[in-house]
Amino acid sequence: MSRLPNQWSNKAGRRQFLQGSAAAGAGFLAASLPGRVLGQDKVTVVNSIRSLSNPYHASWNQGGEAFANWAGADYATLVTEGNSEKGIADIKAMIAKTGGNMVLNVDPNESPDARPIVEACAEAGVYVTTQWNKPADLHPWDFDPHYVSHISFDGKPNGKAMAEALFAAMGGSGGIVALGGILSNVPAIERKAGLDAALAENPNIELLDFQVANWDPNKAYDITSAWVTRFGDQIKGVWAANDGMGISALEVLRAEGMAGNVPVTGIDGIQLAVEAVMAGEFAGTVAWDPFWQGGMGLSIPYHAKTGEFDPAAEPQDHREFYGSGIVITADNAEEFYETNIKSSPELDFADIWGRVSGQIQYE
């Protein structure tokens, strides 16, 4: 039960394991190079993420680089490639190499990983922020002051916002089909809950079918093809739990001559989706702004390390909070494209609490 933001690469466990072990050697090599050369007096800011093979984490990494430039710190990226052991081992190796003179922003591969990572950091005096995945009973205030914050994003309001944007584009009535993520995946469950909530409020919208495409664009393609046969013109809209699946659905609609007439929504805010919003083929998407996650996730523990604030004195809704997704529709797509995709976003890295939108709720 992991809370994975990366919808592109959590399919085959065996494959990930193999990829992980293949990449482990390279990762170790990369992690062991720069520190010795550059000396220990400069702070190293470290992002630990799943991989660099998807737009989401690539943008995350750029945010990290931008922050390192802003702060004048050394920058390092660690990738887990979906392998928890590698993720934890690489972080410990990095702590040893920097002698603890670092801050860490980590997207743990799986929720249970967060505890050993945080414990290792607290022991070495490393300030750390976690994102997306951590056990519900692990809290930043259990490890004052080093475990500074945990950031997540609530899938439900965003799944709902996309459903509402879709219904609006459809004119408020008709049938929709919906593509979900992996059944046991927390973001998939939350986003679906948002869709269900919007459906409950809009009795004129009928959910024709819900299918699970496992975040996989190829699977989404085949499912959408079958839907066109089963429902044909009854389909007035397509809701997808992420952009990758939504873009695939759009390509099926295009091959059937339905693109533009049947609106699609996604979530994640990847470039192709934003372009599709501008072209009037997507009714909307939500950008998590991974650039912000990669940069601000470092800025928060960095400012704690430099003594700008004392984590222990911060309220709980600064320690464990939902960030803000940016809802993109036809109204703001152009602007978002110009400022976030064509050019690197300008972030005020000193504004560390600017996107707090409430304390995380655990059921």
Q: Which positions lie near another protein, rule CB under 8 A?
A: 8-9, 11-12, 18-19, 22, 51-59, 180, 183, 209-212, 216-219, 221-223, 225-230, 232, 247-248, 251, 254-255, 270-272, 275
Q: Which is nearer to another protein, 138 or 228 (CB)?
A: 228
In angstroms, the CA 291 to CA 344 distance is 9
182-206: string of b/e by CB count within 10 Å (b at 16+)? beebbbbbbbbebbbbbbeebeebe
Least distance in angstroms from the C-beta of 57 to another protein: 6
Least distance in angstroms from the C-beta of 200 to another protein: 20
CA pseudo-torsion sign 272, 277, 281, 286: positive
Least distance in angstroms from the C-beta of 35 to another protein: 24
**Is the CB of residue 316 less than 8 Å from the CB of residue 141?**
yes
Assigned token pair, 189: 């469950």
Give the residue ranges of DSSP H helices in the chain: 13-32, 34-38, 55-71, 84-98, 114-124, 155-170, 186-201, 217-231, 243-255, 271-278, 290-305, 333-336
**Angle between helix 290-305 and helix 55-71 axes, rounded to 10 deg:** 30
Assigned token pair, 102: 């670092």
Least distance in angstroms from the C-beta of 216 to another protein: 6
Least distance in angstroms from the C-beta of 267 to another protein: 16
Going by C-alpha positions, the residue among 205, 183, 169, 192 that lies closest to residue 329 is 169
Q: Which is nearer to another protein, 120 or 245 (CB)?
A: 245
Q: Which is nearer to another protein, 271 or 332 (CB)?
A: 271
Least distance in angstroms from the C-beta of 176 to another protein: 15
Q: Which is nearer to another protein, 8 or 143 (CB)?
A: 8
Q: Which is nearer to another protein, 51 or 111 (CB)?
A: 51
Q: Which is nearer to another protein, 232 or 315 (CB)?
A: 232
